């Protein structure tokens, strides 16, 4: 048994001691002991706890891999997530006013990915054990919206029909305006026999849509999502902000940053999280690499009333960014890229005189990298709003505003 003192948390939420030695479920200042293999102490015993240590609100926390920070106080987690953003900015030589953090409430997650296996007696449904491919069955969850938690029997039924004893189903369930939207991957190949079984099962289970791998096998009602009162129907499994609260905070930040801009480009627009609300006051040029998502955005715009002109365009902004010459008439840009950031597109924006940029990020490190390019090109980072809609995880999101200095 080796004793170590935890000095800080890493980006994935593990405690880090000198060495470095990584210890899960520990906090800075704690003295812990355990066996070390390589650079990890997998099962640390707390010798001297931190004053920030609390009793986890979920009794499944130590086994379930869904959360990583329930052993820390809410105040500690909030300060730590702000510090993650500050550290990423400092690493690029940047500083900016941080407005604090907005944290989504418990039991508000509107999408979940369940793991399921068919068993002799029925089906096993839950989430992976921490650091394992084993499934821990759950009878409660502090993260999920109650309607999602109540969907476990649906997952079990799908596993019984389309699962195998050897393989594991991944079942993504999203709350929509019209009941549940379900996508299943990892199951049996979709042949005629399985199609014949899944259609009636979707009806019996009351699903809005059931997709199996890349094919929709049942569509009872359009699984619409509401973006600030405007409806759009995303394709199965497409990106959706994790909580309604998180989406509201990010949208408010984007609308504030853009202000009264008359012509706005929304890069990585998805299905219209920001494009559709922006179109109430501005003409919008929306670009997204996934054709089905931009089609959903365009249809949502066409079915809505009172929106200004929208141009919805399919374009891979990683391989084919919009060039600077094509952005000269824009009054503002909204960026909401995946975790990799928007390096190629930011390089083009940096060559323009666009007055305002609103940047939404799910990765402070790539955000800071892109921000440094913009600042070097003459932009000023006005403010950063940190958002925690992945409560009790190490995941950090933010929204920021840039203008021409």
Question: Would you name the residues annotated as active-site residues?
Answer: 362
Long-range own/partner contacts, residues 5-13 (CB < 8 A, 24 or more apart) = 5/29, 5/30, 5/31, 5/32, 6/30, 6/31, 6/32, 9/80, 9/394, 11/84, 11/365, 11/394, 12/68, 12/394, 13/68, 13/69, 13/393, 13/394
Distances (CA, A) of 246 to 242, 243, 251, 402: 7, 5, 9, 21
Say which DSSP state 42 is in: S
Distances (CA, A) of 285 to 254, 269, 315, 349: 15, 9, 12, 15
Torsion angles phi and psi, residue 259, rounded to 5: 65, -130
Q: Rounded CA gap, 12 and 361, in Å? A: 17
Distances (CA, A) of 174 to 205, 224, 288, 336: 15, 10, 21, 21
3-state secondary structure of 22: strand
Beta carbons of 368 and 98 less than 8 angstroms apart: no
* Token output for 302: 């066409």
Q: Rounded CA gap, 367 and 400, in Å? A: 9
């Amino acid at each position: 048994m080796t004793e170590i003192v935890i000095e800080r948390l890493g980006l994935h939420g593990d405690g880090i001691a000198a060495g470095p030695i990584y210890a899960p479920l520990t906090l800075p200042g704690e003295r812990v002991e355990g066996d070390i293999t390589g650079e990890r102490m997998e099962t640390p015993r707390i010798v001297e706890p931190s004053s920030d240590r609390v009793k986890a609100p979920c009794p499944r926390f130590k086994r379930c891999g869904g959360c990583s920070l329930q052993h820390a106080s809410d105040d500690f987690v909030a300060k730590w997530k702000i510090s993650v953003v500050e550290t990423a900015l400092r690493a690029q030589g940047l500083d900016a006013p941080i407005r604090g953090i907005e944290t989504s409430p418990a039991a508000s997650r509107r999408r979940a990915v369940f793991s399921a296996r068919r068993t002799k007696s029925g089906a096993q449904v839950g989430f992976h054990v921490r650091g394992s491919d084993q499934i821990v069955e759950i009878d409660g969850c502090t993260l999920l919206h109650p309607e999602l938690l109540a969907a476990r029997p649906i997952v079990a039924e799908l596993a019984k029909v389309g699962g195998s004893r050897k393989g594991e189903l991944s079942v993504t369930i999203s709350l929509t305006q019209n009941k549940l939207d379900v996508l299943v991957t990892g199951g049996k190949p979709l042949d005629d026999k399985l199609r014949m079984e899944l259609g009636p099962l979707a009806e019996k289970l009351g699903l809005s849509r059931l997709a199996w791998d890349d094919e929709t096998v049942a569509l009872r009602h359009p699984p619409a999502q509401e973006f600030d009162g405007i409806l759009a129907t995303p394709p199965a499994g497409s990106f959706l902000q994790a909580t309604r609260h998180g989406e509201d905070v990010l949208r408010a930040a984007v609308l504030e940053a853009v202000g009264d801009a008359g012509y706005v480009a929304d890069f990585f627009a998805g299905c219209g999280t920001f494009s559709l609300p922006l179109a109430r006051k501005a003409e919008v040029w929306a670009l997204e690499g996934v054709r089905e998502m931009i089609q959903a955005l365009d249809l949502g715009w066409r079915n809505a009333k009172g929106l200004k002109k929208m141009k919805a365009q399919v374009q891979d902004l990683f391989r084919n960014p919009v060039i600077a010459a094509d952005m000269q008439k824009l009054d503002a840009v909204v960026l909401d890229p995946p975790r990799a950031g928007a390096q190629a597109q930011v390089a083009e924006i940096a060559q323009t005189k666009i007055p305002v940029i609103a940047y939404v990020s799910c990765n402070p490190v790539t955000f800071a990298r892109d921000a440094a390019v913009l600042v070097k090109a003459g932009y000023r980072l006005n403010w950063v709003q940190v958002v925690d809609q992945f409560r009790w995880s190490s995941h950090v999101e933010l929204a920021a505003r840039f203008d021409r200095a």
